[in-house]
Structures are given as C-alpha cells and as structure tokens.
Amino acid sequence: MKYFIDPDIRKAETLPGSFYQSEEVFNQIKEKIFAKSWQWVGDSHSLLPLTDYAHPINLLDHYLDEPVLLTRDTNQHINAQSNICTHRANILIHQPGKMKKLTCMYHGRRFAMDGKMEYMPEFKEVENFPRACDHLHQFAVKNWFEHLFVGLDPTFDLGNTLDVMSRKVGFLNLDRFKRDAATSKDYLVNCHWALYCDNYLEGFHIPFVHKDLNAILDYESYTTELYDHMNLQIGYATGADQPFDLPKDHEDYGKQIAAYYFWLFPNMMFNFYPWGLSVNVVKPISPNKTRVSFITYLPGDQEMSTSAQVLMDKVEREDEFVVEGVHRGLKSRFYQTGRFSPTKEKGVHHFQSLLCKFLED
Ligand code: FES
Ligand SMILES: [Fe+2]
C-alpha cells in the first residue's frame, strides 16, 4: 500500500484509517522503520554498572523481538551485538553479570567481549573457519549522557539529534540524573502506536483535553521546532509553576520555559521538566495494542513531587481516552482522511511524512 503526505502542510491530508489497521503495514513498519532506526534501551549506569559486564536485552518484545547483548569491557568500551551464538543459534547470555568472556553453554563456543570468536571445541578440521559471520554481529550504539541507543541497521545518524538535545538541555548536568523505579511505570493502550505519537506531537489538544495541564502552560506561546528525525515542542510557564533556570548563554535565556518535549523518530519521547526527565517509549504490540513505558530520571538532589506524579498520570489517562477513541473512529466506514492545522499540527505532519518516506524506501 502506498501512502503520501503532501510536504505542503496547507494541502496535506492526514493518514487514512487503513494505515492504522493493516497488519501488512504494521509489519512493514517493523522492518522498514524500527529495524532501520534507533531505539533507546536505557542508561549505562543501570544496564552495565561495572566493567567486564554483559547485559542481554530483547529489543522490543512482541515486535522486533531481537536478542541484543550489551557489554562493557575492561577499557569501558560499550558494545551492542547479537546475543545469538554463531554456531547453532543458541541464546548466548541469559543473565546480566560480570564476565570477561562470552561463553555459549550449548557447545562451548567462546567470544571476546567485543564479539570476536576466540575458541570453539572440536573445530580443528573445519575449513574456512572462522568466517567474518562467525563473530557476533555488531549493532550501532550511541551513548548520550549515559543514555544508550541501539540501531539494528540504521539508515540515519543520531548525532545531529543528540547535538540539538545537548544544546537545549545539556546545562542540566545530565550525568547526575538517576533512574527512579518508584515513579516509572508502563501503560497498556488500546490503539495503534503511531496514534499515540500523533497525539503527543501536538499541543493543540491541551486546552480541550488537559484542563489541569493547560492551567500551568501558556497555550499561545507553545512552539514546535522541526529537525531531521526529531522534533521539539516547548511549553512555556504561566507563572503558576517554576520554569527552568536557564544559564545566561543559553539560546532560550529569558524565556519562561516549563518543559522541553523532544520526540525522536519513530517512537521515543524525552520530556525534560525543571524537576527531571521522563522518557516515554511507545512500543508496538499489535495494530490495536501498544505499551508505553514511562521511565523517570531525577537529578541527585531532586525528587518528583506527588503533585507532578498525579498530574503526569492524569494527563496520560486523558491522552489514552482520546487516542483509544480515535483508534475506534478510524475504523468507521465514513471517515476518510483529515487535514492539518498549519499553526498547531506541524509535529504530526512531520511524523506522518517520515512514516511515508521510510515505507517508500
Ligand atoms: S550453539 Fe553455541 S556453541 Fe553450539
Ligand atoms: Fe496530551
């Protein structure tokens, strides 16, 4: 199926219902978008707390389902590689822990921490061994203030995105941020993952859907900035809440900024508030079901107030209510496509354009 979003937002139509319902499109998105881009997997403090350490993860359960092994070697070098033994495809490492070598428990094949095949019993007579593919397959990995991103086969670089993020929020001493389990949680939403992102990508609905949030955000000032595979929404404080204390040399110095909402294509959100960071990862399960993981990071000396927790949870429930409604609405025989507001829906237009571009390639 071919989808098209006109680059001119004034002329463009939104994606039709079939996009969100089709199993075929859902599977195409998996290979053409998720396997070709980047996924945030967590922070290296939590995942790889020590040197000579390996941590297996499954990249996007129920979707990509790709076994990935993260390692930190003696020299602090971090690798992301396939967690599949190159002999007969056994899962190589099952539990995170300290180790100096990666040894398969099935027939004893041994790899260095960087995935190089070092030893295999009973293979002396084998010709042309080891081949390049007998070492562990290596994935692209990017480390931004301890946040790790893995790309299975990415077609674009993450560098520009991370540079913009550093420019905007680098002043926050992100190295001091720690994952906070108590305020992190998952939500299961009955909608297509892209609908959840569509909704996130506009502040248009805030006065209609989020009355409490609207009271502390200045709707008129709300802005969206577009970058290559990322966009940034900026929420301004009305005065009811404490804005960021921006340093003098910051490009936004003098503005009363209450939140920086970064969205990274295709499914990641980094929401920075004066109290800390909430990372949201939108995980496709089926065309009708999505898991959204909220992971909180707090600076060493801060905590997330109860009122901030209550507000975040309330806003999430309000968003779920609308996206689940839209998900049902798109199935109607009588809905075709919609149009975009050029002033308020630039982010959604950006996202839908990227979806189409990747599906085309
Ligand atoms: S599958 Fe790993 S050594 Fe045989
Ligand atoms: Fe919302």
Q: Per residue of the chain (361 residues), give pLDDT as tens.
A: 789 999 999 999 999 999 999 999 999 999 999 999 999 999 999 999 999 999 999 999 999 999 999 999 999 999 999 999 999 999 999 999 999 999 999 999 999 999 999 999 999 999 999 999 999 999 999 999 999 999 999 999 999 999 999 999 999 999 999 999 999 999 999 999 999 999 999 999 999 999 999 999 999 999 999 999 999 999 999 976 789 999 999 999 999 999 999 999 999 999 999 999 999 999 999 999 999 999 999 998 778 899 999 999 999 999 999 999 999 999 999 999 999 999 999 999 999 999 999 999 7
What is the CA(302)–ligand 2 centre distance, in A?
25
Most informative mutation of 101, 106, 134 for ligand 1 (most atoms within 8 A of CB): 106
- Residue 211 carries which side chain, given as an amino acid letter? K
Ligand 1 binding site (Cβ under 6 Å of any ligand atom)? 85, 87-88, 90, 104, 106-109
CA count, 13 A, side-chain hemisphere, 37? 23
Using the atom order of ligand 1, give the atom closest to the CA of residue 85. 2
- Closest residue by CA, ligand 1 atom 3: 107
What is the CA(209)–ligand 2 centre distance, in A?
7
CA distance 294 to 274: 17
Place of tokens 């909704």: 199
CA distance 230 to 225: 9
- The pLDDT value given to residue 342: 97
Q: Which of 53, 76, 58, 77 is nearest to 68 (CA)?
A: 58
- The pLDDT value given to residue 97: 98
What is the CA(241)–ligand 2 centre distance, in A?
18
Q: Which ligand is nearest to the CA of 119?
A: 1
- Closest residue by CA, ligand 1 atom 4: 107
What is the CA(80)–ligand 1 centre distance, in A?
20
pTM listed for this prediction: 0.96
DSSP letter, residue 16: P
Q: What are phi and psi of 145, to 5 degrees?
A: 45, 50
What is the CA(109)–ligand 1 centre distance, in A?
6
Residues 6+ apart with CB under 8 A from 336: 16
**Torsion sign across C-alpha atoms 301, 307, 309, 311:** negative
All domains of the chain in start order, with CATH = 17-37+173-360 (3.90.380.10), 38-151 (2.102.10.10)
Using the atom order of ligand 1, give the atom closest to the CA of residue 107. 3
